[in-house]
Amino acid sequence: MRSYLFAVIAAVAAATEDPCAQMCSDVSGCGNSKYGSYCKSWLSSPICFGLMKKSDGSVCFQPTDSSCVGDAIPCDTVSTPAVTTTAEPVTTTTKAAVSTTTTKVAVSTTTTKAAVSTTTEATTTTAVPTSATTVEVTTTTTTTTVTDGFGGKYCGDLYGQSFSVDFEEGRATVSVLGQSAGADYEVEGTKIVFSNYDPMLQKLMNAFHIKGIDGTIISPTEVHIKAGFLIDTTLTSC
């Protein structure tokens, strides 16, 4: 059992750095196979498992292609794509009180009466009323706020190695075996729902047939994390 656990740990570390595994994802019949390809580093001349170079220069995967015949591919001839890490933008939410301003203007009415003018022909009386009315204007400003809730860093062990998850403002950073990757999260009651996994984390999950990561809040200081058969552990606030 102990040797199996170390094999799993080795596979986790290799999934992100084995050049043969990188090439396998681009070869028909290899990327979706059960085991894929890996570097047989223990050989005197390390080669990629199952990958063959045909006479025309194309690459095929022998375990799934009966017509795949050619030369074995040395591990050191496979170029490994550079891994680019993109920092997530920091989002700051400011709570602002709802401010309502009402301005009232008094209604002013002015009436002006003209003087009476009398002549021998006729008597004319003119009254000219003048009114000014001000409309009441109300301005309302509303700011949406986010309620503070679950968050912080939780630590534990995984197969004797340090394992931690840092929850901060909707983004979780998973750190294990010296590797870090992230995913978005939402809290629904005591359930932590993960989504939008980093490409590196998603590829690792695909390699071990893990459909998703499940989280449960046990208490303010404890969370339980489960990911397929690979991870099933309780972490403590640290």
Do 156 and 133 belong together in one domain? no
In a domain, 170, yes or no: yes
Q: What is the CATH number of the domain that holds 156?
A: 2.40.128.640
Do 233 and 163 belong together in one domain? yes
In a domain, 32, yes or no: yes
More confident residue, 143 or 8: 8
In a domain, 34, yes or no: yes
* Residue 219 clears pLDDT 90, i.e. is over it: yes
* Residue 186 clears pLDDT 60, i.e. is over it: yes
Of 122-136, 163-177, 218-232, where does mean pLDDT reach its minimum?
A: 122-136
* Residue 33 clears pLDDT 90, i.e. is over it: no
Do 156 and 199 belong together in one domain? yes
Do 134 and 157 belong together in one domain? no
Residue range(s) defining the domain that contains residue 24: 18-77
What residues contact 169, with CB distance under 8 A and at least 6 apart? 91, 151
User: Considering its fold, how many domains does the chain have in total?
Assistant: 3
Residue 231 has a CB neighbour count (10 Å cut-off) of 18
Do 178 and 231 belong together in one domain? yes
Per DSSP (E only), the strands in 78-237 are 99-103, 108-113, 117-118, 123-124, 127-132, 137-141, 152-158, 161-168, 171-176, 179-188, 191-195, 214-219, 222-227, 231-237
Measuring CA to CA, how many Å separate 15 from each of 47, 55, 153, 179?
A: 16, 29, 25, 11
In a domain, 10, yes or no: no
What is the rounded average pLDDT of the residues 21-50? 88
Do 172 and 115 belong together in one domain? no
Share of the chain above pLDDT 90, in %: 31
More confident residue, 141 or 51: 51
In a domain, 90, yes or no: no
In a domain, 91, yes or no: no
- For the chain, the average pLDDT equals 73
